[in-house]
Amino acid sequence: MATNTQNNTSSAISAALIDEQNLLSLLAPYTLAPTGTGPLAPENPAINALAEATGTVVAQLVPSNNSGVSGEAILHLDRAAGRVSLDVIASGLTPGQIHPQHIHGFDNDAPSLLPNITLDADRDGFVEDPEGAPVVAPALLSGTVSGAVTDVEISTDFPSADANGNLRFHQDYQFNLADPNQAAIFENLEQRLAGREFQIHGLAVAAGEGAGTGNEVDGSDGYKIALPVANGIFLPLAAVEQSVADLSETYRFYNATSQDHFFTNSAAERDQLLLGASGYRYEGVAWETPADGLGTVDVFRFYDTQNGTHFYTASTTERDQLLASAPSFHLEGVAFQAYADPAVAGTGAETVERFYNTGSGAHTFTADPGEIAAIRGGQAGANWVDEGQAFTVHAPLSELHA
């Protein structure tokens, strides 16, 4: 009977690990290997901790200070053993440099928040550590290479990015609960994992940036080891799974006659266009959109009877202007949802660019970097004007999983 119980427990752990791997493979361009031998995951992602973890949270990392850094941080806390396990997978870092990393949090019940440019008090274009501190909160635990339990902010005991700017990191932090300082750190983490923040530092800046200001970016060029480059809020694994489960595919069609790009997340509308003689050619899944809820905005769809094209906007001001002054634009309702804050979409966030053709009057919308570059470069024909960012969506899960 004991053997059967042990086997059942082992199966449950394996199933949990598979679920976590499947989830993370959808959210970021990497894979986790259960044996630790995968080409992109040379270090074991805390598999043993999964068996005993009484808390598991995931932070989807978003870039800070225009760093381009993205990735995931996974935190496991085992109360009985007094141990915390940290796994970090990140890309876009400064190659070959040390990147300090920390778990942040307030002593009270207030959650940490992602910093934004409104916190740039010295107006140098960067949100430096002191400027972001009021929302990020103090460091609770440093992600040291040695496994030392400390909240030190800067030292050489942090991991370095490889030659391609990638970081694959795992470490277990065994707390000595008889030590008052270590016990205080563990107790703070134990009280609440969700709502804590993970932050990575280290960015190379050009000469002249921040000249005349008093923080780290002060006009001198070089590597600024304390400058934040990525942040993410820790959420329970179930909450992250739910955010992915709530995504819907948005289908893209093209009509060569009118130059109209048509987008819908309605399977019925998709099938109607596929089966009917509509003149629209199916071009696949453009992106994924979230379910209607907190942190989302409506994207409105208009049909222009003058040229037979569709127009999309997440701006209620623009919607109202069209209704008041553009009689050929007919509101067809809410097409789909978009993210009010790109950080909510995590590593899968995509910004849709809007283009206008001054010749045909058609608009086109795309989040594909190659297509954006082609339109800007004239390869898609003449008369296209870039009207800027339209709204934020999630990349197709099929692409992230590939």
Collect all residues with Cβ–Cβ distance below 8 Å to 7 and sequence separation of at least 6: none
- From 101, 59, 54, 41, select the one nearest 81 (Cα to Cα): 54
* Whole-number pLDDT of residue 39: 29
| Calpha distance 104→86 (Å, rounded) | 13
Binning the chain into helix, strand and coil, the percentages to the nearest 5 are 25, 35, 40
pLDDT of residue 93: 95
Q: Could you give the angle at the alpha carbon of 369 between the alpha carbons of 368 and 370, nearest 5°?
A: 90
DSSP states of 350-376:
EEEEEEEETTT--EEEE--HHHHHHHH
CB 209 within 8 A of CB 219: yes
Cβ neighbours for 332, distance < 8 A, ≥ 6 positions apart = 301, 302, 303, 310
Q: Where do the structural domains in the chain lie, given as residue ranges?
A: 2-242, 246-401
What tokens does 13 get?
């752990």
Determine the distance from the C-alpha atom of residue 70 to the mean position of all C-alpha atoms in its chain, rounded to a whole number: 7
Cα–Cα distance for residue pair 44/37, rounded to 1 Å: 8
Say how many C-beta atoms besides its own lie within 10 A of residue 73's C-beta.
Answer: 26
Dihedral over Cα of 165, 389, 116, 244: its sign: negative
Whole-number Å distance between alpha carbons of 394 and 31: 19
What does each of the 402 residues of the chain score in pLDDT, given as a tens digit?
334 433 443 343 334 434 444 443 333 322 222 222 222 332 323 323 233 334 778 888 888 998 989 888 988 888 888 999 898 988 999 999 999 999 999 887 778 888 888 888 998 889 999 999 998 999 999 999 999 999 999 999 999 999 989 998 989 999 999 999 999 999 988 888 888 899 999 999 999 888 888 788 888 889 999 999 999 888 876 555 555 557 889 999 999 999 999 999 999 999 999 887 678 999 999 999 988 876 789 999 999 999 999 999 999 999 999 999 999 999 999 999 998 876 666 667 889 999 999 999 999 999 998 899 999 999 988 999 999 999 999 888 655 433
Q: Please give the Cα distance from 99 to 121 (Å, whole number).
A: 24
Q: Which residues contact 130 (CB under 8 A, 6 or more apart)?
A: 215
Between β-strands 384-394 and 349-357, what pairing exists: parallel, antiparallel or unpaired? Answer: antiparallel
Nearest to 289 by CA among 280, 281, 299: 299
Instruction: Write out the two tokens for 128.
Output: 């430096």
CB 211, CB 218: distance < 8 Å: yes
Nearest-angstrom CA–CA distance, 183 and 191? 12
State the Cα–Cα distance between residues 262 and 255, nearest whole angstrom: 8
Give the Å distances, CA to CA, from 306 to 155, 174, 260, 302, 361.
64, 68, 12, 12, 9
User: Does domain 2-242 fall into CATH 2.60.40.200?
Assistant: yes
Q: For residue 125, which phi and psi values (nearest 5 degrees)?
A: 90, 5
CA distance 146 to 171: 8
Phi/psi at 251 (nearest 5 deg)? -95, 145
Question: Residue 344: its pLDDT value, please?
Answer: 63
**Nearest to residue 65, comparing CAs of 92, 30, 89, 86?**
92
CB 260 within 8 A of CB 219: no
Nearest to 281 by CA among 272, 291, 273, 293: 273
Residues in contact with 16: Cβ distance below 8 Å, sequence separation at least 6, in sequence order: 50
* Overall pTM > 0.75: no
